[in-house]
């Protein structure tokens, strides 16, 4: 028979796990784009059997080509390939004041970052901090690495 104390501790642990899960969900609003199929591939960063392909909606690319900042609601998708196979998706999504939900030193404008598996389900939420840390170096390009390819895109 488990003691009352051990049951209580187990329940408390479950509640804490749930609370931390909710907290990280609140701080990360990036979702997998429902309109991914309509997106076009504007950047090919494949090398050998691995690498990445960058996707955005045509309207997003047109805004970049017009030299305008990408507006809230923008989603960008990076397909990740390894050994010739798709292994997952990296998504950046921008929302009104979303940056305020991120600690200042980890902030990347109003972008949130999320990793998804090949079925579009969230994969390893905690990794978002690493995404932000690297993309922070691109502040002068709205935290993007592919803005040049987007502006140079020809259908």
List contacts with ligand HEC (CB under 6 A): 45, 52, 54, 76-78, 90-92, 113-115, 127, 130-131, 134-135, 144-146
CA distance 70 to 64: 7
Q: Smaller CB distance to ligand HEC: residue 13 or 72?
A: 72
Q: Smaller CB distance to ligand HEC: residue 7 or 41?
A: 41
DSSP class of residue 79 equals E
Q: Least separation, in Å, of the C-beta of 122 and ligand HEC?
A: 11
Q: Residue 108's closest CA among 133, 74, 145, 126? A: 133
Q: Smaller CB distance to ligand HEC: residue 2 or 35?
A: 35
Q: Least separation, in Å, of the C-beta of 74 and ligand HEC?
A: 10
Q: Smaller CB distance to ligand HEC: residue 19 or 46?
A: 46
Cβ contacts of residue 121 below 8 Å, gap of 6+? 32
Cβ contacts of residue 33 below 8 Å, gap of 6+? 39, 75, 77, 91, 93
Q: Least separation, in Å, of the C-beta of 143 and ligand HEC?
A: 7
Q: Least separation, in Å, of the C-beta of 70 and ligand HEC?
A: 10
Question: Helix, strand, or coil here: 137?
Answer: helix
Q: Least separation, in Å, of the C-beta of 20 and ligand HEC?
A: 19
Q: Smaller CB distance to ligand HEC: residue 10 or 40?
A: 40
Question: Helix, strand, or coil here: 93?
Answer: strand
Distance in Å from the first CA to the final CA of the chain: 68
């Amino acid at each position: 028979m488990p003691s009352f104390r051990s049951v209580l501790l187990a329940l408390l642990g479950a509640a804490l796990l749930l609370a931390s899960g909710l907290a990280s969900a609140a701080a990360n609003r990036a979702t997998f784009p429902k309109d991914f199929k309509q997106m076009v591939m504007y950047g090919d960063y494949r090398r050998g059997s691995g690498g990445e392909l960058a996707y955005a909606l045509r309207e997003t690319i047109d805004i970049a080509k017009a030299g305008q900042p990408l507006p809230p609601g923008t989603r960008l998708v990076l397909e990740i390939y390894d050994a010739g196979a798709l292994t997952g998706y990296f998504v950046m999504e921008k929302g009104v004041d979303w940056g305020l939900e991120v600690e200042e030193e980890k902030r990347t404008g109003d972008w949130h970052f999320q990793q998804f598996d090949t079925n579009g389900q969230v994969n390893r939420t905690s990794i978002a901090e690493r995404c932000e840390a690297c993309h922070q170096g691109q502040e002068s390009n709205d935290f993007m690495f592919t803005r040049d390819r987007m502006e140079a895109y020809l259908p």
